Structure 1
């Protein structure tokens, strides 16, 4: 482990934790962790789900009190009486992946929610709006703050959350998976904003499972494994493979399994001239055992296309064939009957019943198989257990609520649902969103194994390395149409990016 602090200059750290531990009943979430961040530093906090990143963040924010150890803020020992209000007074705040906004309120109102300035009982709206415009100018952003935030793009809503933190005169902002739901151009804008904040000596704790982002924007890194700090140092002194090894405790020699598709004439799905308000004249041919990728920028129609095939997006014209026969898919129930399953991008909202247990979620798409008049609970439990073992699910018992599983294990439950439903065609919309690097590797292997077992797969992903590493063929969508298709050795970043920008040759 590099001795990072000895190499930093002699400035007073903004936040310093000394030998901090945090225990919950039966669990030691952090053990003897020392952590330092300086003004204007962007520090990557890396680790798998459950490594202790959230616990460490909540201690910094005053939400949790350490079981052992010391907390120093701007050199002052705050260990004995440090709470949320103290953190806020010091300007320590967080911006999360999951929006903490009131959808019906305007951008202005959300920015100042809980922090309205009032005089003689009246809120000074003119001053409030001027301050908000000043913050957006600082971020070099133009957003309509007069409309309800529910009408804004996701990237704009994230900027509203950042603006809210800046209005609070933050000295440190924890960016927790801020880019997980953003597209590439919006991620680039977050990089730009981080650099602006650093220039103003605002510190950033940057949490992301997309490791490329760490090398793009972070100065230093700290790695947690099972609640223990296993490494820290300067980002410039480490490469991606070395960082992966520190995070998962082993060398990840091959992130993507070997592609092993045997060409076949057996077509399982054919989409002909499919047209909707979002896309038009879509032609897709999917063969048995094939992994087909779909790339595209925001608004290209990728997610809508998958939902149309799944019966959850209206179409004007076109046909869908399954095993050579025209089928009518007007609802997800129709798609399920024809052996089609969808793993959606928003697994918590669309793929799972979060307050149901594992076995119930696994069997939701095939309830008829487990019920006559009453549920056949022994059969349901047996097949759930079989698929939990098959997918190497990490859980305590089948009655555990899925809300308490990690992102990677939640995704496995969604996949198990479609395997139990005996789906032949599996569509994945952003299969590894919000999933750590170790779990990503497991999902990639699982997708490849499913294809080798004869399942046919369609993947939509904003991460080009996923499409390049997994797919046998990639369609590139541009402004609602399939602009180009590449396969084999032609599946390269250059070819895909050129087509994404409408520059196909």
Structure 2
């Protein structure tokens, strides 16, 4: 039961950036023990509003009240002192440090004389991780953890700060269904203690599973706030985008797979072993599996970014051996990383992000021809519908979906024939997702071979001509489009011990 007493209220918030009004008269409130979801397309104002609530930005107009008292936050530390913590979509952690050092950063237990009490730090952290049911260890190095695990580290940190309101920004973007279920179970336990959540997500199914109320933002304004039990997905989409989206995924039609563009024959490496697969021209192969199954490690090996210790790769019928990612690039294989920070150079312009991999081709005797570079970048930006003020805009200022389009344009400019997409729509709004789906389908229709890794089972089912499933570093099964269902995928993805617990 949601507590009627309001924990946090924001009233008539206005935020301007120059001549652009990012938020216009937005008011929402969050009750104790409530999950209040915020939805809207990229650019709707969600991140700006959250940054105001957690103190990272100050409003131009309007107020924030906690327990009925109007407060003024000069920074996130003020918000934390009032019990408001934020878990960011891109984990903001110190990669070289341990889980314990990140969870208790700035609050490390110390012995007499000021020396850090390493034993107490480890014990305290392991106790928190155990209480939360998180499969992590205090001494794990954060930089060696997958993105999903880093999200849980952020969550543990927020809990140890005694946060009364936790803002979750796309928390499941890198999580498998099993991880998501674990997160929701944790949220429900904390709700019973009175903890409130603001939950930002593009996954509308999650809203109906975990949220009590949902507010829709569009173009910086609050469209509506609804009880989740009194609405449905179709209505939310209409509020978000102003139209119905009858189908998220393009029609596969009668597209037939062509010749094998890339074949792996019993390859092994870090995180995977004895993997065999074929990627054919004109075909989209979905790759599913739980976090830690070896999907990303396999993808990186296919493009030369990870070392293959056994087996062999065959490209267009000829054995190849890659010593680096540049060798894979030269062979026409492109890898679009799960973490956009590994692909998008945020301080550089849209133009330079698009032309990055083809600068030698655009140069004349080693000198870059700026007019040609601008023309090529503008052409690809237009073809892929990159929404930007122009090709000179910094890539870091674009939405996640438009950053992804810049990376795709980069590899199309190199005429890559094998494209490996690792979580291509992570953190992207529902409208832009459809644009990415259409683009991937168009690339397959042109005869390119596509491998698409996704933790979203509806995405794998909607996009894949056939689906490979990994478990424990191996391919545990292959499903045709006709055979593929969510239960069939999960049966192949879940280790036997987990299956026994799930059915026991």
Distance in structure 2 (CA, Å) of the matches to 1:131 and 1:324 = 56
Residues 143-154 of structure 1 correspond to what in structure 2 (within 5 A)? 143-152=136-145, 154=147
Residue 486 in structure 1 maps to residue 479 in structure 2: yes
Count the aligned residue pairs.
495
Contact 2:461 2:481 in 1 (8 A): no
Residue 422 in structure 1 maps to residue 405 in structure 2: no
Residue 29 in structure 1 maps to residue 22 in structure 2: yes
User: Counterpart of 1:282?
Assistant: 275
Deviation of residue 408 (structure 1)? 0.2
User: Counterpart of 2:184?
Assistant: 191
Contact 1:139 1:196 in 2 (8 A): no
User: Counterpart of 1:103?
Assistant: 95
Contact 1:117 1:124 in 2 (8 A): yes
Residue 243 in structure 1 maps to residue 229 in structure 2: no
Contact 2:300 2:306 in 1 (8 A): yes
Task: Report which stretch shifted further, 298-307 or 443-452.
Answer: 298-307
Length-normalised TM-score, structure 2 = 0.91
User: Counterpart of 2:47?
Assistant: 54
In structure 1, runs of 5+ residues without a counterpart are 1-7
User: Counterpart of 1:227?
Assistant: 220
Task: Report which stretch shifted further, 220-229 or 55-64.
Answer: 55-64
Distance in structure 2 (CA, Å) of the matches to 1:133 and 1:310 = 37
Deviations 1:101-153 (A, max 9, x none): 33343433332322357797636847766654554454244642245444555
Deviation of residue 64 (structure 1)? 2.4
Deviations 1:20-40 (A, max 9, x none): 211121210110111111111
Residue 325 in structure 1 maps to residue 318 in structure 2: yes
Q: Aligned match of 1:445 in 438, 443, 453?
A: 438
Distance in structure 2 (CA, Å) of the matches to 1:256 and 1:72 = 42
User: Counterpart of 1:205?
Assistant: 198
Distance in structure 2 (CA, Å) of the matches to 1:124 and 1:373 = 54
CA distance 1:122–1:225, change in 2 (3 Å): same
User: Counterpart of 1:398?
Assistant: 391
Deviation of residue 54 (structure 1)? 1.5
Contact 2:2 2:33 in 1 (8 A): no
Distance in structure 2 (CA, Å) of the matches to 1:345 and 1:83 = 30
Residue 271 in structure 1 maps to residue 287 in structure 2: no
In structure 2, runs of 5+ residues without a counterpart are 500-504
Contact 1:132 1:167 in 2 (8 A): no
Deviation of residue 86 (structure 1)? 4.0
CA distance 1:92–1:430, change in 2 (3 Å): same
Deviations 1:279-330 (A, max 9, x none): 3333322322111111222232222222222111111333333332333333
Residue 463 in structure 1 maps to residue 456 in structure 2: yes
Deviation of residue 481 (structure 1)? 2.4
User: Counterpart of 1:432?
Assistant: 425
Deviation of residue 182 (structure 1)? 2.6
Deviation of residue 68 (structure 1)? 1.9
Residue 167 in structure 1 maps to residue 160 in structure 2: yes
CA RMSD of aligned residues (A): 2.5
User: Counterpart of 1:5?
Assistant: none
User: Counterpart of 1:91?
Assistant: 83
Distance in structure 2 (CA, Å) of the matches to 1:153 and 1:345 = 10
Contact 2:102 2:157 in 1 (8 A): yes
Deviation of residue 95 (structure 1)? 1.5
